């Protein structure tokens, strides 16, 4: 569940592009194969690669969060009216963020390009770039990531702790009653991370930490009655990881296709659409957009409560491209029922500054 997906769809719809007819749809029994399925799937209309992480300086005294999302969207060639040398039916949109807790800074940038010299994604493996932002996986499974945002440069090496996790049932992650409201959803929930963060003022800091990668491809996701979602990717210090999303309906209720998945350190997975609750434990109002977000956010799963507390309150992204959206996505601490810090999370909250309905 990524808000950048909605931004891309909104951008295309504002250009008068029709619905997803003619594109592949997510079907049960899809034969996943890696490294191929870490690559691009141009038969599907929509695809994104999403990386987030919590990083610390070597002495552990300073914390940073980061987000890098690449989005690919297929569009008819007839839309392009420029030079034939730049003609492509693939649009690429990307967001990058660095959160500096001690410096109280939230650095954000975005990019929009057609596939070609400035952006692209390989089909046979994970290799995605947009200008000087890039991720690439080598034959050993190790991933190199680099991004520059508002004068800061982050370069990381990511090593998976687990095999890729496939969310959903029989290879399909359902998002609504319509069978086409579904995706193929792949995750690396724990990526050991090390590298260098060069801050805008010039200081180069060795950093280490833990990252999360999502990769999703589909041609249609949300039902018409859904106005937004609350999503969390949680990494607990006991080795477990949880992914949960609450799809919100127009009447404020939780859509029955909302879901939680737990992955333990042995590779065991359990899923549920009912054994969890997500709710706000507070409210923060953005002075920029006026939106009120339910943070801190509480997740109760299988009787175990967690409170997700932002490391900075203002981690709201206000995208400036045509058809852009405003949403909250940020680095959080994870507290257990006693208030003890037991992990880290990234949280995404959409549909609070405006409904997502009509953005497709």
Q: Indicate whether 97 belongs to any domain.
A: yes
Is residue 212 within a helix (H) or strand (E), and if so which, with residue range? strand 204-220
Q: CB of 65 within 8 A of CB of 99?
A: yes
Res. 17: pLDDT tops 50? no
Q: Indicate whether 21 belongs to any domain.
A: no
* CATH number of the structural domain spanning residue 282: 2.40.370.10
Q: What is the pTM of this model?
A: 0.90
What span, in angstroms and rounded, lies between the C-alpha atoms of 358 and 8? 13
Q: Indicate whether 295 belongs to any domain.
A: yes
Q: Indicate whether 357 belongs to any domain.
A: no
Whole-number percent of the chain with pLDDT over 90: 72
Q: Give me 100's structure tokens.
A: 């500096």
3-state SS track over 101-162: CCCCEEEEEEEEEECCCCEEECCCCCEEEECCEEEEECCCCCEEEEEEECCEEEEEEEEECC
What span, in angstroms and rounded, lies between the C-alpha atoms of 192 and 330? 19
Which tens digits make up the pLDDT trace of 101-159?
Answer: 999 999 999 999 988 899 999 999 999 999 999 999 999 999 999 999 999 999 999 99
> What is the domain extent for residue 51?
3-16+32-349
Q: CB of 229 within 8 A of CB of 247?
A: yes
The total of structural domains in the chain comes to 1
What span, in angstroms and rounded, lies between the C-alpha atoms of 31 and 33? 6
Which tens digits make up the pLDDT trace of 196-210?
Answer: 999 999 889 999 999
Q: Indicate whether 96 belongs to any domain.
A: yes
Q: Indicate whether 282 belongs to any domain.
A: yes
Q: Indicate whether 70 belongs to any domain.
A: yes
What was the pLDDT predicted at 19? 42
Q: Indicate whether 288 belongs to any domain.
A: yes
């Amino acid at each position: 569940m990524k808000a950048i997906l909605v931004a891309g769809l909104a951008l295309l719809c504002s250009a008068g592009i029709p619905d997803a007819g003619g594109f592949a749809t997510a079907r049960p029994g899809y034969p996943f194969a890696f490294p191929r399925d870490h690559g691009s799937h141009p038969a599907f209309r929509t695809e994104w690669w999403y990386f987030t992480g919590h990083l610390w300086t070597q002495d552990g005294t300073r914390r940073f969060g980061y987000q890098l999302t690449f989005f690919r969207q297929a569009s008819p060639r007839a839309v392009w009216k420029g030079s034939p040398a730049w003609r492509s039916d693939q649009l690429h949109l990307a967001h990058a963020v660095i959160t500096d807790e001690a410096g109280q800074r939230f650095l954000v940038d975005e990019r929009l390009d057609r596939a070609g010299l400035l952006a692209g994604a390989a089909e046979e493996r994970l290799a995605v770039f947009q200008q000087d932002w890039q991720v690439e996986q080598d034959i050993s499974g190790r991933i190199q990531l680099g991004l520059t945002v508002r004068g800061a440069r982050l370069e990381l090496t990511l090593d998976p702790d687990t095999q890729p996790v496939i969310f959903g049932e029989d290879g399909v992650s359902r998002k609504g009653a319509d069978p086409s409201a579904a995706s193929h959803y792949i995750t690396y929930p724990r990526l050991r991370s090390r590298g260098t963060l060069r801050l805008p003022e010039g200081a180069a800091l060795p950093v280490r930490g833990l990252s999360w990668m999502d990769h999703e491809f589909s041609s249609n996701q949300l039902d018409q009655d859904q106005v937004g979602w609350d999503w969390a990717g949680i990494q607990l210090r006991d080795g477990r990881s949880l992914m949960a999303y609450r799809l919100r309906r127009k009447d404020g209720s939780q859509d029955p296709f909302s879901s939680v998945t737990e992955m333990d350190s042995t590779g065991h997975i359990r899923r549920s659409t009912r054994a969890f609750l997500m709710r706000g434990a507070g409210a923060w109002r953005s002075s920029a957009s006026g939106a009120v977000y339910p943070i801190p956010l509480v997740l109760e799963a299988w009787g175990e409560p967690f409170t997700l507390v932002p490391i900075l309150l203002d981690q709201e992204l206000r995208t400036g491209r045509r058809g852009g959206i405003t949403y909250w996505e940020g680095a959080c601490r994870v507290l257990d029922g006693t208030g003890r810090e037991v992990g880290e999370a990234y949280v995404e909250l959409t549909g609070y500054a405006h409904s997502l309905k009509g953005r497709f």
